[in-house]
A and B are shown apart, each in its own frame.
Chain A
Amino acid sequence: MTKLIQTIVDGLGVGSTYALLALGISLIFGVMHLVNFAHGELITVGAYTSYFFFLHGGSWWWMPVAILASAALASVLTELVAFRWVRNASPFTLLLTSFALERLSHALWQIFISSKQRTFRKPKWVFNQFELLGIKFEVMDLVTIGVTAATMVVTAIVFKRTLFGVAVRGAAEDFDAARLMGVRANRVISGAFAFAGLLAGVAACLILMRTPSAEPTLGSDWLLKAVIAAVIGGLGSFTGAVMGGLVLGLLETLTRAYLPDVATGWDKFAPAAVYILIAAFFVIRPDGIFKVSHAERV
């Protein structure tokens, strides 16, 4: 029982990080049909930003602000230098453009910093433990789940209550109609990128507090999982992105913790099990948990 609860808490921890990233990916997909493979690079940007500030006497008290700001700025910048120029291209072209940016980012960090890992200080309290109902938790677990929940609430308020949020949702529904209603395309898209950047920044904070290090390919592994999570949830659906992230996180930790016991003799296939489940899921529900109908007029 203890093991199960701890596994679930672990899963929710990883899952909320996926969820934050997936939410950004889903948001960008909603406004311009781009599956942004460069989204994970925002984590890398956040990591090098903290590395830089810690070299000059940074503190974790204000580091999250720097990480969030740099990720949002970088996100808006990618739209300005690349995505703006292919805005009406096919989803395939858009996706490959984001791939190109991802490659470029890898190369540039190596050229200007190094290919080696750079580590910095972590907050002292991260791995402190406390006991609740006889089960040991790390402070970071609580922080991760709490911060994610708070971010989700803020996101929900922004998209339900603010003019910006309504404009983005309108644009996601039908961009041309939204434009005719006076929504400014450039402003909405830049805003969406900034917001997605902030979400990635929050994810970056959570990742970096646990493992305070920067390397050029840091974002790529997270990115793939986040894309899978976003598609599991149903691209373009915000609730879906969150659900997809949590489901993927739980699936990963649960199969890792329990599958080797269940399937003796087949244990060599256990690491592949998550991916087989993911593939099976997409066969059964190609549109994800929440299907977003992009009412295409025919």
Chain B
Amino acid sequence: MGAIGQRLGRSTIASAALLAVVWALTTAYTQTGGSSRVLLISEMLSNFILVLGMQVFIGNTGVLSFGHMAFAQIGAYATAIVAIPVAAKAKSLPDIPFGLADTHMGPVAATIFAVAVTMVIGAIFGIAVCRAGGLAPTMITLAALFVVDQVVKNWGELTRGAGGLTGIPIIRGNGWLWVGALVALVVAHQFQETRIGRFSIATREDELAAPALGIRLFSSRYAAWVVSMGLMALGGSLRAQSLGNVNPKQFTLDAGILILVMMVVGGMRTVSGAVLGTVIITAGNELFRQLGDPQRWDIERFPDLFLGATMLAVMILRPGGLLGDRDLAGWLRRTMYRRRMHEPVEPNPGSDTLHAKSIIVHFGGFTALDGASLSVRPGEVVGLIGPNGAGKTTLFNVITGLVDETDGTVMLGATDLTTAPPVLVARAGLARTFQNLRLFKNLSVRDNVALTSAVAARHRSHRLRPDVDDLLESAGLLEFADRAAGTLDYGNQRRLELARAVALAPEFLLLDEPTSGMSDTESLAMVESVRAMAAKVGAGVLVIDHDLGFITRISDHIVVLAEGQVLAEGTPDEVRANPAVAAAYLGSQA
């Protein structure tokens, strides 16, 4: 509770600080000009809320959505329908259904109503959006935008069609908009601090590695989606109440893209970036609108020139946005994960054995695995070797649920993992690394490890969990803890991936070529590293490597795979003495 309070405090300070800067700028602007400038500020503030609404979903999950504006529209219409006085409603919407004819709410109640309605409708759409992978979610959001647009235009009894609704009681001054902006800022900041928020960021960084470490794609994305729906509704509702009217033209794809550009130009990964983008684009857009005015150059779409050029320049020069990962809240975040001091405890090895039995995998006509079996006992280190194309990585992928086997079973003790998806395999206690490194590159070194540690806290609580900084120290990475993982050199990235897997407190570590690309001395050091790290959590190890020196030193037991079958197995010495192994490696008949 104290920790949450502390984090909430930090989010609020960061939000208030950002807003204070914007407030100072805008006050200077409105003081020096006419009252029309106040209108521009209202527009900027509602943009602000909408940008943050998009940032919570798109910025954190990396899933592009074209449909967010549809939910701002639902929020705006919901507000209009309950806020327009009963007498006026009788005239403009005589056939209004659901007994809404007699409903009337004040501004605050109407706003809350709108947010609630939108979150419910959004939650239904969200199930479809967050289930799918790849580009499908983007297409579903685009379809959602058109669905809402068509329903609004055609459901005349409720919305008065394309003409829109007028007569919404106008909230004077920008006071409520500032309050709304502050709420949006705190929510957006706070979301990134929550565990589920951090998980959604992990899915953005690597859609494949996150589930392999026990992070569920759907639930983390869905949480971001529902929260962002609330903010979109807030933005739509306040915009409707500051303009006094609402119509479908305010929520077109183009209007949504304008908001999207604001988010991307400043840097969508951070809240500060979204804020900066809003200020820059709103101001620039207004400037170009005035230049394109009929009295001047008479170019209606002049702002498009500004938008296009700015976005093109940002994408080419700074694809992460102007701020990238720099964030005011990040400055305030001193040590987010406080070090737990505890007595060194001797971890007890797990009691389950990992079995993969008679695994068969066909890729089209090619048989990658042809009845291979292996088992790893608790605390044991098993090396898996074999020529290229022998099926080693495929076997890893089968065990961790990334590839579906044609036949065979995978068991962890009495638990059947044969058909389990990667996320459940990870939670059951198998943590893996990848042949071609899959770190959360834009996150700090510490956050990479802390994320899996958070999964472990929830799903591996029966095991002894290592402390994050302790792990970093053992991996020799503590001095780089606050650097982005992608900036580490290759060897350190490998060590970080190992530490990240260990943080899951697994029963077995599955390491796919941990020494690839390392020098001989580094590789030798890796033997001790892997053993020490595994011992910390009492995990057994299954390791693939091409470096025979490394494998024979580290393994208790070696399995040799060739053409999808187990060719030989035994202690390192037995395997070395086996003539069939030499033949498979050297290609000669023994």
Contacts and interface: CB of A to CB of B under 8 A. Distances in A.
A246 B361 CA distance: 36
Contact of A287 (B131, B134, B153, B434): B134
A95 B62 CA distance: 13
A105 B307 CA distance: 11
B305 A104 contact: yes
A235 B138 CA distance: 13
Nearest to A274: B146
Nearest to A111: B299
Interface stretch (A86-94, A135-143, A177-185): A86-94
A163 interface: no
Interface in A180-232: 216, 224, 227-228, 231
Given A235-B135, A287-B134, A110 B316 contact: no
B128 interface: yes
A260 to B, nearest CB: 11
Q: Which residue of A104, A227, A272 has the most chain B CB atoms within 10 A of its CB atom?
A: A272
A280 B132 CA distance: 11
A34 to B, nearest CB: 12
A107 B147 contact: no
Interface in B335-390: none
Contacts of A123: none
Interface string A215-257: 0100000001001100100010000000000000000000000
A115 B264 CA distance: 27
A203 B134 CA distance: 28
A77 interface: no
Interface in A14-46: 35
A290 to B, nearest CB: 13
A296 B132 contact: no
List the 3 shortest-distance A-B pairs measured between CB atoms, nearest first.
A104-B308, A103-B308, A286-B136
Interface in A127-154: none
Which of the four size classes fits the interface of chain B?
A: 35 or more
Interface string A267-284: 011111001101110110
Given A86-B316, A286-B134, A298-B438, A107 B304 contact: yes
B146 A107 contact: no
Majority SS at the chain B contact face: helix
Interface in B309-345: 309-312, 315-316, 319
A102 interface: yes
A100 B309 CA distance: 7
B147 A104 contact: no
A99 interface: yes
Contacts of B143: 228, 275-276, 278-279, 282
Contacts of A279: 128, 139-140, 143-144, 147
Contacts of A104: 304-305, 308-309, 312
Given A96-B311, A104-B305, A275-B143, A283 B299 contact: no
A106 interface: yes
B154 A269 contact: yes
B257 A99 contact: yes
7 contacts: A82-B316, A86-B319, A104-B305, A224-B253, A269-B154, A275-B146, A297-B435
Contact of B131 (A111, A216, A227, A283): A283
Nearest to B128: A283
